[in-house]
Amino acid sequence: MRPLQDTESTTSGPDRRVKGAPRVTANPLSGVHESALPVAPSRGRLRPLGIGEVRITGGFWGERQRTNAAATLEHCLRWMHHVGWIDNFRAAVEGRLPRDRRGREFSDSDVYKLIEAMAWEHGRTGDPGPDAAIRELTAIIAPVQEDDGYLNTAFGRPGQPGRYSDLEWGHELYCYGHLIQAGVARARTAGADDVFVTIARRAADHVCDVFGPDGLDGVCGHPEIEMALVELARYTGEQRYLDQAVAFVERRGHGTLADIEFGRTYYQDDVPVREADVFRGHAVRALYLASGAVDVAVESRDDDLLDAVVRQWEATVARRTYITGGMGSQHMDEAFGDDFVLPPDRAYSETCAGVASVMLSWRLLLATGEPRFADLAERTLYNVVAASPAADGRSFFYANTLHQRRRGAVPAADTDSPRAASSMRAPWFAVSCCPPNVARTLAGLATYLVTAGPSGLQIHQYADAVVSTHLDDGAPVGFETTTGYPHDGVVTVRITEAPGTPWTLSLRVPAWATRGGVLVEPDGRRRPVEPGTADVHRRFAVGEVVRLELPTSPRWVAADPRIDAVRGTAAVERGPLVMCVESPDLPAGHEVDDVRVDAASAPADADGTVTVAGSYEQVGDASWPYQSPASSSGTRTPARIPLVPYFTWAERGPSTMRVWLPTLTPEGGPADEHT
């Protein structure tokens, strides 16, 4: 295990910062400087830019950031008060626990995730509102922390289970993980002296005291502490936090947690991280653990561990991931299913797993520079993270189905909903980890767009944005991106600051852009581009424009035949968007399950409205559904079938929806009939 590098010093291997280069880039709205970002590895192929260096200014993600700021943060705060999770802290101080405690044993963590979201929001815009809210919450939380740094409203008091008496399910270290991530966010946006930062550091010191080499040889049933400790190590330069993260990763997989009915696989205690072949068990746990393992591998220079996570990522993406990028196909244990078991109707695809997948893919991108990680992040951002919140930012999907067969009931506006009731978005859940996860991801989203490397700058995600940073030699550089993405495939990059020396602007060409992608150089020359990256290397001048034109005409997609659940169906994608059929767009009397499509005929796109050739087919009822193949009956009505982006579904009242659509055989009959 290698020592943590001072983030300012050069080391062997790619170095991203020259000693002594002044930090001059700051966010003009908030004044926070470039290091305000969630993940700041001390080494890797690419250097992420911080909130001080990149701002989203409009468009698809700009709108979502505004809604997040104007509605979602307040919504989460109001609900956390309403369901008592904030009062739990007051109750702790006032001696009213356990009597008055409300919520699950991990409810503290959702308050911390909201604080993290507020910290990024304050750093993003300088808005004093989130800053004041953090101070208010800090005042409520601080007195609950005990002298030794312990902090948890569910354990340790008379009438409560003892500290660390239930590592399997207690979530204590998980709560610290979110506390520490929020503390790092606050430190990077408001400075190290903030009281909340102190709380987080004291908790981290406590964790190292209790679980260090001379302490408890345990792990948490829910990974999260690992990546948090590494980030704190990066922020503070303190080796101790990295050592503790390494210990937690190395301890896992040896059966120290209890065997349970779901199996130790559930919390990835079946196999050591570096020996596993694929992500398995509870999806959020698996992905948070993998993220922490990448952080540990990067800081420890542990290529074997990094390779192991890459290998697991590859196997999971090839065999255990939904077309939306969603992960998790079992409701029973919110877990990955077996290879190729990916039922659309029973998709779990937890929003938090989507967030975690983006976090993991981001870390792998920074470490390796490989665009496939940004490809998956894009798919997941547009089809899971953007799908979860309603357009008004006040209700959410927890589980993200790909096939809604019947209209659900409208969730009550003032009561929390069961977590897997995914027919419509709900304002809150008994387990409400997803809304604050969406909030912190959206608030900090700008940091996922652009990186800097030895050769120049790399654009990974497309949005209306302003970038102002510097190259490795310290020379200032900047550009504005303008785009109608995801609906429009044209991305315009206009240089706003340029050094006199040549550098490389690299634009990701998504894997789905297999035909027709074009890059237009500043001199107007057009060249075709393939999936991967399109690079422009030149001595840029201010005002010059590079334009990427991606082919966003809708396209058919078929699944690997080993995914039995979608045999005989096809889906439509348009740019990065997965499309779906939803009942409000169908003629009266027709349901989504009546739809059949002709996947041999190209989809049409008229002014953004996508349709495909197909028919509506209604099947007669039978007393027993398994009959001789010749005995099907039904009526068929040819039609053009309208599709809409999946992320927009369930915004027009109770509806039915499906992504994977049964196909017609070339002769016109259903593929599953044999006469």
Residues in 452-511 at the binding interface with a second copy, rule: CB under 8 A: 511
**Does the protein bind a second copy through residue 550 (CB under 8 A)?**
no
β-pairing, 503-509 with 456-459? parallel
Is residue 412 at the binding interface for a second copy, with CB under 8 A as the rule? no
Report the nearest approach of a second copy to the CB of residue 52 (Å). 35
Cα–Cα dist 533/531, whole Å:
6
Residue 278's identity, in one-letter code, is V
Minimum Å gap between C-beta 619 and a second copy is 6
Residue 486: is the preceding peptide bond cis (ω within 30°)? yes
Peptide bond between residue 98 and the one before it cis (omega within 30 degrees of 0): yes
Query: Which of 147, 193, 261, 607 forms a contact with a second copy (CB under 8 A)?
Result: 261
Residue with tokens 């951002």: 381
| Interface of this chain with a second copy, residues 593 to 612, rule: CB under 8 A | 593, 599-600
Question: Of 279-287, 318-326, 380-388, 496-504, which segment contacts a second copy by CB under 8 A?
Answer: 318-326
260 HSE (CA, 13 A, CB side): 17
- Kindly tell me which residue out of 157, 251, 331, 636 binds a second copy, with binding defined by CB under 8 A: 331
Within 342-381, the residues that bind a second copy by CB under 8 A are 343-346, 372
Candidate residues 444, 568, 576, 603; the one interacting with a second copy per rule CB under 8 A: 568
- The DSSP H or E segment spanning 249 is helix 239-251
Q: Does 570 bind a second copy (CB under 8 A)?
A: yes
User: What tokens does 600 get?
Assistant: 């041999």
User: What's the DSSP call for residue 188?
Assistant: H
Of residues 177 and 662, the one with the C-beta less far from a second copy: 662
CB of 401 to a second copy, least distance (A): 11
What is the footprint of a second copy within residues 416-445 (CB under 8 A)? 418-419, 430
Residue 370 or 480 having the CB closest to a second copy: 370
Question: In this structure, what is the dihedral angle of CA atoms 128, 132, 135, 141, given to the nearest 10 degrees?
Answer: -130
Of the chain, the end-to-end C-alpha distance in Å amounts to 66
Region binding a second copy by CB under 8 A among candidate stretches 68-76, 97-105, 272-280, 334-342 = 334-342
Closer to a second copy by CB, 150 or 428: give it.
Answer: 428
**Which CB sits closer to a second copy, 243 or 617?**
617
CB of 490 to a second copy, least distance (A): 23
Number of residues that bind a second copy (CB under 8 A): 71
Distance CA(226)–CA(290), nearest Å, equals 9
CB of 589 to a second copy, least distance (A): 16
Tell the smallest beta-carbon distance from residue 545 to a second copy (Å).
32
User: Is residue 556 a contact residue for a second copy (CB under 8 A)?
Assistant: yes
Residues contacting 645, CB < 8 A, separation 6+: 486, 574, 577, 578, 579, 580
Closest CA to 205 of 170, 233, 185, 174: 233
**Does 665 contact a second copy by CB under 8 A?**
yes
The strand pairing partners of 396, in sequence order, are 389, 426
Q: What are phi and psi of 660, to 5 degrees?
A: -90, 120
The residue count of the chain comes to: 675
| Min dist. Cβ of residue 566 to a second copy (A) | 8
Q: Closest approach of Cβ 446 to a second copy, in Å? A: 27
Residues 92-131 that bind a second copy (CB under 8 A): none
Cβ atoms of 229 and 242 within 8 Å: the answer is yes
